[in-house]
């Protein structure tokens, strides 16, 4: 364990990772989503794909805790079982793909998926009915595969709930609850597969502190009547983080 701590403290980019963790937490606190979309493009600059996922899931196991009670109260809990059933089936498949790709491919995948979310949401697509079990299960399958490949399980679920037209408090709560449950599921799968590495865990624990502070800060400024303002700010942070994580900038470094 001392070796893991030393390796974590000596890792390049630790300050940038902490800033990314805080920004990701702030977005998650007021929007209910966005942790991975803000954090992973930054993490991919300094960590291998598997280490980035480990740091994310360890960090994200703590970050949302202060806001979960409110999410349980506001959310539609009956949806989560179907979403998680699909996610559990597809997640190992996505991880097997991740293990086979290069870090550059991972960085492109993370940035492109992250960029697609705010632009898709801006189109204003809407569902005309409450999501049924089949749609929830299919969304969970998409989320599990995408979460395994890139660490970004949120986009299918975020797009689903943003399209429902539900009140922002329900959308925020359901996204937050699903993403927290996905974090625990991903951590369990990585542990079963023997992919957990000590230094990456230590980095995740270190990042949990600024991430929790960001979550609390974001939740403190959240007001349902200002949902559009918060969404715009969250979209902006996601776009900036995703653009900054693209490998095309390496030539200018």
User: Which of 2, 141, 114 has its CA nearest to residue 56?
Assistant: 114
User: Which of 24, 19, 141, 43 has its CA nearest to residue 84?
Assistant: 141
Q: What is the pLDDT of residue 252?
A: 54
User: Which of 51, 236, 21 has its CA nearest to residue 151?
Assistant: 51
Q: What is the pLDDT of residue 243?
A: 79
DSSP 165-217: T--HHHHHHHHHHHHHHHHHHHHHHHHHTT---HHHHHHHHHHHHHHHHHHHH
Highest mean pLDDT (candidates 92-96, 114-118, 153-157): 92-96
Q: What is the pLDDT of residue 236?
A: 73
Q: What is the pLDDT of residue 227?
A: 63
User: Which of 22, 31, 242, 63 has its CA nearest to residue 157?
Assistant: 31
Q: What is the pLDDT of residue 141?
A: 95
| pLDDT tens-digit readout, 4-19 | 677 666 777 899 999 9
Q: Is the dihedral of CA 110, 114, 241, 39 positive or negative?
A: negative
> What pLDDT band is residue 163 in, cutting at 50, 70 and 90?
confident
Token representation of residue 250: 């390496």
The pTM of this model reads 0.79
Q: What is the pLDDT of residue 234?
A: 65
Question: At residue 121, does pLDDT exceed 80?
Answer: no
Structural domain boundaries of the chain?
2-252
Instruction: Quote the CA–CA distance of 150 and 147 in Å, as a whole number.
Output: 5
Mean pLDDT of the chain: 84
| pLDDT tens-digit readout, 172-209 | 888 889 989 998 999 999 999 999 988 899 999 999 99
Q: What is the pLDDT of residue 94?
A: 92
Q: Is the dihedral of CA 78, 231, 15, 67 positive or negative?
A: negative
Q: What is the pLDDT of residue 21?
A: 94
């Amino acid at each position: 364990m001392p070796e893991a701590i030393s390796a974590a403290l000596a890792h390049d980019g630790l300050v940038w990772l902490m800033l990314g963790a805080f920004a990701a937490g702030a977005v998650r606190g007021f929007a209910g989503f966005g942790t991975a979309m803000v954090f992973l493009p930054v993490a991919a600059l300094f960590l291998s794909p598997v280490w980035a996922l480990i740091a994310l899931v360890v960090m994200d196991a703590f970050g949302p805790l202060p806001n979960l009670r409110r999410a349980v109260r506001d959310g539609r809990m009956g949806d989560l079982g179907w979403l998680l059933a699909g996610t559990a089936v597809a997640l190992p498949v996505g991880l097997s793909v991740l293990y086979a790709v290069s870090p550059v491919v991972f960085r492109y995948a993370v940035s492109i998926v992250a960029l697609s979310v705010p632009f898709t949401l801006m189109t204003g697509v809407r569902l005309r009915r409450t999501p049924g079990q089949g749609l929830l299960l299919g969304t969970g399958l998409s989320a599990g595969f995408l979460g395994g490949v890139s660490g970004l399980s949120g986009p299918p679920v975020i797009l689903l709930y943003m399209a429902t037209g539900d009140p922002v408090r329900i959308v925020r709560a359901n996204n937050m609850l699903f993403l927290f449950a996905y974090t625990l599921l991903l951590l369990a799968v990585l542990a079963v597969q023997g992919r957990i590495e000590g230094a990456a865990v230590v980095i995740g624990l270190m990042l949990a502190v600024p991430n929790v502070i960001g979550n609390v800060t974001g939740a403190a400024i959240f007001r349902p009547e200002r949902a559009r303002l918060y969404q715009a700010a969250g979209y902006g942070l996601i776009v900036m983080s995703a653009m900054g994580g693209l490998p095309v900038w390496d030539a200018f470094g």
